[in-house]
């Protein structure tokens, strides 16, 4: 009898506990999720703040400036507003004007902040500060969502941001490594385009400078080839669209070959090469639009070669595999030039020229390969931590 009463009492107590759980759990669980999301975002934000502080220190060291970091902090709040597209007519030229004005404003700040730097250092510091501005924006965005989640207690927002948090962290980490590399005036993944163009330029060639670009006219396999790329080794993108459109009109060029880095899909190999038709230039699309417009008008053929890499690899130190792909791309370019029926060809090396010399002799210097390998080992590699659950389920 006593045993039956004890069993009944235990069943009653268990039922009461389960009943309380069903009441309390829906109240506590959302708070646990909110707390977890806020802790995760705060941890990421602290990492990004550390990256931002390190980037600021590097900018101050490279700038040779004796001024306080307060001036740099003010510049990190810099922003660029996109033009109105209510009337799409002339939107390309509006974008071009705003972006060029933005670049000049950054360069003016560098001249004010550090008047003793030379032209290459000026361009590099302006690009480095632009990257620091992006890191600061990511920090502010995460901080905004932390405040919004705490203020509204919105579970849906918390879950959405938490799911995106690892991607945001990867992007911030890539920018940090890219800015560090650029400030050291070393090549990043996106520099493969100018590097390919540089491999077609010899020291003896006559180099013309225009709008942060270099132009070389030379005979290759019996064809007149114009080689266009951003000037190095300072960090530049160059006004490729304007320079190329002027060349096409003036020289009556009938074929344009663009070489650029392109985002690969997961599963594709870094450094793999693909060919197609069109203008391989990323970004907002200003340079692409200028070339497409004049090419359409003059019936110019558009050939594109891309070297594939992830979006993170494009802004991080150049991957040795991407660097090793250069010879294969140059060989393919020579085949295209040889097989082409057009007598005048424009070859454009698209991308960031940071750390990329202008001529073949400098690019093929053993020092360049050593720098790329060392940078990749130091900053480029992603350390992936696997746990036993990932191994168990084959993730």
> Model-level pTM?
0.88
Do 172 and 41 belong together in one domain?
Answer: yes
Q: What are phi and psi of 244, to 5 degrees?
A: -65, -45
Is residue 290 located within the same domain as residue 169? Answer: no
155 and 198 assigned to the same domain: no
Residue 388 falls inside a structural domain: no
- Residue ranges making up the domain that contains 258: 189-380
**Can you tell me the mean pLDDT for 363-376?**
92
CATH of the domain at 203: 3.40.50
* Percentage of the residues of the chain whose pLDDT score is greater than 70: 91
228 close to 215: Cβ distance less than 8 angstroms: yes
The CA-based dihedral angle spanning residues 255, 211, 287, 225, taken in that order and rounded to the nearest 10 degrees: 10
Confidence check: pLDDT of 388 > 60: no
pLDDT tens digits, one per residue of 275-313:
999 999 988 899 999 999 999 999 999 999 999 999 999
Question: Is residue 68 predicted with pLDDT exceeding 90?
Answer: no
Q: What is the pLDDT of residues 339-349, one digit of tens each?
A: 999 999 999 99
Same domain, 118 and 201: no
Indicate the burial class of 13 (C-beta count within 10 angstroms; 0-12, 13-18, 19 or more). exposed
| Tens of pLDDT, residues 231-278 | 989 999 999 999 999 999 999 999 999 999 998 998 899 999 999 999
Q: Which of 121, 149, 183 is the last residue of a domain?
A: 183
C-alpha closest to that of 62 among 120, 136, 108: 120
Query: How far are the Cα atoms of 25, 40, 163, 236, 284 from residue 159, in angstroms, in the given order?
Result: 18, 11, 6, 39, 31
- Do 49 and 103 fall into the same domain? yes
Residue 213 lies in a domain: yes
Angstrom distance (rounded) from CA 37 to CA 25: 18
Listed range (124-138, 172-186, 372-386) with the worst mean pLDDT? 372-386
List pLDDT tens digits, range 121-150.
999 999 999 999 999 999 999 999 999 999
Q: Which of 183, 256, 241, 251 is nearest to 211 (CA)?
A: 241
The sign of the CA dihedral 284, 132, 352, 380 is: negative
Q: How confident is the model at residue 1 (pLDDT cuts 50, 70, 90)?
A: very low
Same domain, 211 and 355: yes
What percent of the chain is modeled with pLDDT above 90? 69
Q: Would you state the pLDDT for residue 5?
A: 43
Q: Are 267 and 173 in a shared domain?
A: no
Which of 98-102, 280-284, 391-395 has the highest mean predicted lDDT (pLDDT)? 98-102
Do 293 and 359 lie in one domain? The reply is yes
Instruction: Spell 77-86 as b/e; 16+ CB within 10 A means b.
Output: ebeeeeeeee
Number of domains in the chain: 2
d(CA 331, CA 63): 40
Q: Which of 127, 154, 183 is at the close of a domain?
A: 183
Residue at 44 is within a domain? yes
Q: Taking 90 as the threshold, does the pLDDT of residue 355 lie above it?
A: yes
Is residue 387, in this structure, part of any structural domain at all? no
Among residues 165, 183, 201, the one where a domain terminates is 183
Within a 10 A sphere around the Cβ of 307, how many other Cβ atoms?
Answer: 31
Residue 199 and residue 248 in one domain: yes
């Amino acid at each position: 009898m006593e045993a039956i009463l004890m069993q009944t009492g235990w069943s009653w107590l268990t039922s009461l506990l389960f009943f309380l759980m069903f009441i309390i759990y829906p109240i506590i669980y959302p708070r646990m999720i909110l707390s977890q999301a806020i802790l995760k975002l705060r941890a990421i934000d602290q990492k990004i703040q550390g990256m931002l502080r390190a980037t600021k220190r590097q900018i101050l060291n490279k700038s040779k400036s004796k001024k306080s970091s307060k001036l740099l902090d003010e510049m990190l709040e810099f922003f660029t507003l996109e033009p109105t597209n209510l009337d799409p007519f002339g939107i390309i030229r509006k974008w071009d004007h705003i972006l060029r004005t933005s670049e000049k404003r950054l360069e003016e700040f560098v001249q004010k902040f550090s008047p003793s730097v030379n032209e290459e250092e000026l361009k590099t510091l302006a690009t480095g500060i632009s990257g620091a501005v992006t890191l600061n924006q990511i920090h502010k965005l995460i901080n905004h969502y932390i405040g919004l989640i705490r203020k509204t207690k919105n579970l849906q927002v918390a879950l959405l941001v938490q799911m995106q948090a690892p991607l945001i962290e990867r992007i911030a980490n890539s920018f940090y490594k890219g800015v560090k590399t650029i400030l050291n005036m070393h090549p990043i993944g996106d520099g493969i385009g100018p590097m390919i163009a540089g491999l077609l330029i010899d020291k003896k060639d006559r180099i013309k400078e225009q709008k942060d670009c270099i132009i070389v006219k030379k005979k290759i396999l019996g064809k007149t080839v114009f080689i266009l790329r951003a000037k190095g080794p300072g960090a530049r993108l160059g006004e490729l669209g304007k320079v190329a459109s002027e060349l096409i009109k003036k020289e009556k060029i009938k074929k344009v070959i663009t070489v650029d880095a392109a985002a690969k899909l997961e599963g594709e190999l870094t450094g793999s090469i693909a060919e197609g038709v069109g203008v391989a230039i990323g970004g907002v699309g200003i340079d692409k639009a200028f070339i497409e417009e004049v090419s359409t008008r003059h019936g110019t053929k558009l050939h594109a070669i891309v070297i594939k890499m992830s979006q993170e690899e494009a802004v991080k130190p150049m991957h040795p595999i991407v660097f090793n792909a250069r010879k294969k791309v140059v060989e393919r370019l020579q085949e295209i030039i040889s097989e082409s029926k057009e007598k005048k060809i424009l070859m454009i090396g698209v991308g960031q020229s940071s750390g990329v010399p202008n001529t073949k002799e400098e690019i093929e210097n053993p020092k360049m390969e050593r720098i790329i390998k060392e940078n990749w080992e130091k900053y480029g590699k992603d350390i992936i931590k696997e746990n036993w659950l990932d191994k168990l389920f084959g993730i």
